[in-house]
Structure 1
Amino acid sequence: MHSDTHLLLHSLRAAELRWYATEFERASTAPDTDLRTRLGWALVELGLRILPHRAGHVSVAPGPA
């Protein structure tokens, strides 16, 4: 893919994601949103922020008994 085309598609996708983020913020801070919904989304956001900072899960294969 040509670099100019790739840059244009990236810019369009970034603008689309910014629009979705704005809509999400508007919906989650609306005064008619109940407390349980806002608290639930706040916990989801917190979990998504914490998750990438954790070390990867290491699985240990069981050894001989």
Structure 2
Amino acid sequence: MHPDPHMHLFLHHTRAGELRAEASTHHHPRTTGRPSRGLRTRVGWTLVEVGLKLAAPPRSASATP
């Protein structure tokens, strides 16, 4: 026995509306437009590492082991 597909869709839309309403009442600190400090730090250090690799002279292909 299969449930009525229209009832499933109705329940889905009802729950989605409830979740949207609940989400709009909460204040999320990360929605201020600024990335988190941890992400900003990681991206900064990654850019420093890339810059240092670009500025370093190329290694010779015939390096001795």
What TM-score does the superposition give when structure 1 sets the normalisation length? 0.38
Structure 1 or 2, whichever has the larger Rg, is 2
What TM-score does the superposition give when structure 2 sets the normalisation length? 0.38
